[in-house]
Amino acid sequence: MGRFSLGHLLGWDRHPTRDHHDHWWRESRRRLLPNYHDEAIESAIPAPAVTEVALRLRHLIEECVPCELDQALITCPHSKVITKKVIKAAKEAGGTANKACVVFCLLVNKRWWKHQALVELWDADLHNARVVACEVIAKQLIETEDDTEYLLHSVLLKRYSIMVDGEVTTPTNVVEKAVDLHALRVIGSSGYQKCINYLWRGWLVQDENDPATFVDYKDKDNPSFYNHLDPDRMRAPMYQNATQVLISFIYLGLYSSAINTVNPGGELDFIEGMLYIFTFGFICEEASKFWKAGYQIMGFWNAFNGLLYGLLATSLIHRLIAYGHPHGDPDGLRKHYNTLSYNFLAVSAPMFWIRLLLYLDSFRFFGAMLVVLKVMMKESVIFFALLGVIIVGFLQAFIGLDYADDQVAGDTGFIIKAMANALMQSPDFEGFEKFQHPFGLILYYCFTFVVMVSFIPP
């Protein structure tokens, strides 16, 4: 008999790209961020036992969804596919000792089915239906659990591992796994949201002796204000966010005061000194993130903050260069560099206010608006990328007409300016008569029409 393995059960041994799957699992276990303190963190339940529970649930889901089904039949209330008996069978898949890892194993199965849907396109609809079934069962198990303490501490926050090709995966909990897999039904469940709320408020904190275990904050129900005035409470995300928002407003106040009180002589006053000290601290914070996490942490806000801090650093450098020249120097270099310093400081004002959105996204209104804004910006980038191809075509046509007129392409600047005016909904038709009349004027009319039609909403 051949060697039994998880890959054989999933059908990967029959696939010609087994190496690809091995690479995929290695990537799923690879740390994105370096760790120094979780080397001793182990699965709350032995990994072989968790894997056994996951395989039982896999078989259960295969029996519940044996063929392609409309996902509405799985997700509808009182579904005839995911019945109470199915929920009960899933809950009992771990037995008495290992029942806490059932929701985690359902998310593991969701990952298996999602991957199989990508590599086995002929059965993608079937696998995707089983993905939905995993989420529906997990959500039902979370919402029907009556013991809140057991749900929070054992089901959602305990870390579990599975065996893959004889190796133990990195322990993770349901809260992290659901976010990684974008399991919206699990994330939207009432128990999951209660857990996130407790973590946000600091009512659930990591045990000082075991970072893999979360415990209740001892003074959670103490009405005294001074008992909560503890420096250790800065570990709570809510207070960390409040501190960041406060520091951001102070930083904005320092900038507003500095830009509105210009020193003609180029002196560096206390307000500007504090502004640059704050900036130096933020630069060190960004540098430490890259030092600890590497390029994987690079995102939009990191690049945005880097540009802002770069402008402020440039402003400070010009101010220091101005200090190198005496007052009333005949060349006026001190005044010149001082003016440049304030110019760089002034143009960074919009970025200072936009930076507030990074810390205000924890509020529901700003968070929702940021999601909408992100989608709009993404679609705008795609739109302008497609429009850019058309613009290049018209630009080449105009340059060709200009060159055909006098064998010299000397009006390129005028052409680019006129096309930019058309993009800004302010076309200027004068001057195109000289481009092989009437071809240049007709072409510019066509370009203006295309631009105007492109900006009409569907």
pLDDT digits (tens, 9 = 90+) for 381-410: 898 898 889 989 988 888 888 776 666 666
Same domain? For 249 and 270 the reply is yes
Report how far apart, in Å, the C-alpha atoms of 53 and of each of 97, 109, 173, 282, 397 are.
Answer: 11, 10, 16, 47, 67
Q: Residue 253 and residue 312: Cα distance in Å, rounded?
A: 15
Identify whether the C-beta of residue 10 lies closer than 8 Å to the C-beta of residue 19.
no
* Nearest residue to 310 via CA among 253, 355, 340, 348: 348
Q: Residue 396 and residue 402: Cα distance in Å, rounded?
A: 10
Same domain? For 125 and 266 the reply is no
- What does the pLDDT look like over 278-329, one tens digit per residue? 999 999 999 998 888 788 788 888 889 999 999 999 999 988 888 887 777 7
Same domain? For 258 and 353 the reply is yes
Q: What is the pTM of this model?
A: 0.73
Predicted local confidence at residue 356, as pLDDT: 87
Is the pLDDT score of 359 beyond 80? yes
Same domain? For 12 and 133 the reply is yes
Most confident of 203-212, 232-241, 304-313, 443-452: 304-313
Same domain? For 17 and 157 the reply is yes
Predicted local confidence at residue 300, as pLDDT: 83
Among 342, 360, 378, where does a domain finish? 360
Q: Residue 435 and residue 402: Cα distance in Å, rounded?
A: 6
Same domain? For 47 and 172 the reply is yes
* Nearest residue to 216 via CA among 191, 195, 186: 195
31 inside domain = yes
Same domain? For 339 and 368 the reply is no
223 inside domain = no
438 inside domain = yes
Mean pLDDT of the region 205-217: 82
Which residues, at least 6 apart from 383, have a Cβ–Cβ distance to it below 8 Å?
454
230 inside domain = no
424 inside domain = yes
Same domain? For 61 and 116 the reply is yes
pLDDT > 90: percent of the chain: 38
Same domain? For 394 and 327 the reply is no
98 inside domain = yes
Least confident stretch, 23-37, 277-291, 405-419: 23-37
215 inside domain = no
203 inside domain = no
Q: Residue 103 and residue 101: Cα distance in Å, rounded?
A: 6
Same domain? For 46 and 168 the reply is yes
> Alpha helices, DSSP H only, in 324-363?
333-347, 349-360
Is the pLDDT score of 37 beyond 90? no
**Total domain count, the chain:** 3
**Average pLDDT across the chain, whole number:** 84
Same domain? For 370 and 353 the reply is no
Among 185, 219, 250, where does a domain finish? 185
Same domain? For 284 and 296 the reply is yes
Which residues, at least 6 apart from 199, have a Cβ–Cβ distance to it below 8 Å?
175, 214, 237
Task: Measure CA 377 to chain center.
Answer: 14
Among 329, 360, 391, where does a domain finish? 360
Reported residue count of the chain is: 458
Q: Domain containing 280: what range?
A: 236-360
